[in-house]
Amino acid sequence: MASKLDQLREMTTVVADTGDIKAVAKIKPVDCTTNPSIVLKALSTDMFDEQFAAAIKWGKSQSGDREDVVAAVASRLAIDVGAALVDLVPGRVSTEVDADLSFNTEGSIKKAHEIIAAYEERGIGRERILIKLASTWEGIRACEVLQKEGIDCNLTLLFSKCQAIACADAGAFLISPFVGRILDWYKKATGEDYTAETDPGVLSVRSIYNYYKSNGIKTVVMGASFRNTGEIEGLAGCDRLTISPNLLEELEADQGKLERKLSPDAFEPEPKVEMDEQTFRWMMNEDAMATEKLAEGIRNFAADLGKLRTRVAKELDA
C-alpha cells in the first residue's frame, strides 16, 4: 500500500512548512511557506553564508537612517530564502510582511509592494509568490487592496471563524488556519487530552472549510501548525495542508490506510454571515483563545524578526 503521505497527496495539496533547502529538495512539495521564525532558522545554517555576506556588503554601501538600512538588509535576506525555495518548488512561496506592521494597513501594502518588486528584480513573477499577512482587521484590509491589484495573499495567524469569514469577504487567495496552537491553548486551559476527532484545532478548520464550501467561497483553506500526524489525518482532503518536514517523514513511513475527512462535495448547508469591523472585533473579543493566540503569534514573529535585525546590525557595525 502507498504511504499515508502519498495517499494524502491524492486528495490534498501538500505544502512544506520550512526554509530547510535540503528537506524541500527531498520532500518535493508543491508549495512552501515561510515566516520570520523559519527565515531566522534558515539563515542560521551555512547554506546561506554567501547570501548573508552579500547582503551585509550591500547594507554597508547604503546611506540613510541606520534602522532603515538594517530593516532593508533583513528584508533582502528573507527574499534570499524565498528565492532559494522558489527554485525547488513548482508552485508558490509565501513571504511574510513584517510582524510589526500587523496593525498598519498602509504600511503592510507598501511592504507587500516592496516584496513583490524584490522578487521581480530576481526574475521571479508575482504568480510564484504569496504575500503573507496576519489576520488582524488591518491585515485583512491590506489583503483586500492587494488582491484587487493582482497580488495574491496568504492570511496567517488565523484562529477563529470570524477571521476566516472576513478574509473571504476581502477576496483572500488563501488562508492558513492554525491547528496545533489552538490545541495548545485548550490543553493548557482544560488539562484534557484530545483525539484527532475531538481536537479543537481540527474542528475549527473543519468548520471553516464547511462554511467556505457551503457558500461557494473560492478562498483556499490551508491547515497549518500541526502538533502530530493525527491532526493532519483529521483534515485529509482539505484544500492544502502545510506540514513540517518531521511530520511529512512520519506520514511517508506510515503504510496504513488514510481516510478522507473533507471533500468539496460534502458539506452541511450554512448561512452566510455579514461581517463588518464592529462584528469582527466583538467576535474576536468573545473568543479568548483566538485573541490570545493571535497576539502571541504576532509577538513571537516580531521577536524573531528583531533577532534577525540585531544580527544584521552587529554585522554592519563589524
Catalytic residues: 132
Q: Which residue has the cell 540585531?
A: 310
- Cβ neighbours of residue 80 closer than 8 Å, sequence gap 6 or more: 48, 51, 52, 55
- Cβ neighbours of residue 138 closer than 8 Å, sequence gap 6 or more: 102, 103, 104, 105, 108
Assess contact for 115 and 97: CB atoms under 8 A.
yes
**What whole-number distance in Å separates Cα of residue 242 and Cα of residue 220?**
12
Other beta carbons within 10 angstroms of residue 248's beta carbon come to 24
* Pairing between β-strand 31-33 and β-strand 153-158 as defined by DSSP bridges: unpaired
- Cβ neighbours of residue 73 closer than 8 Å, sequence gap 6 or more: 55, 56, 58, 59, 312, 316
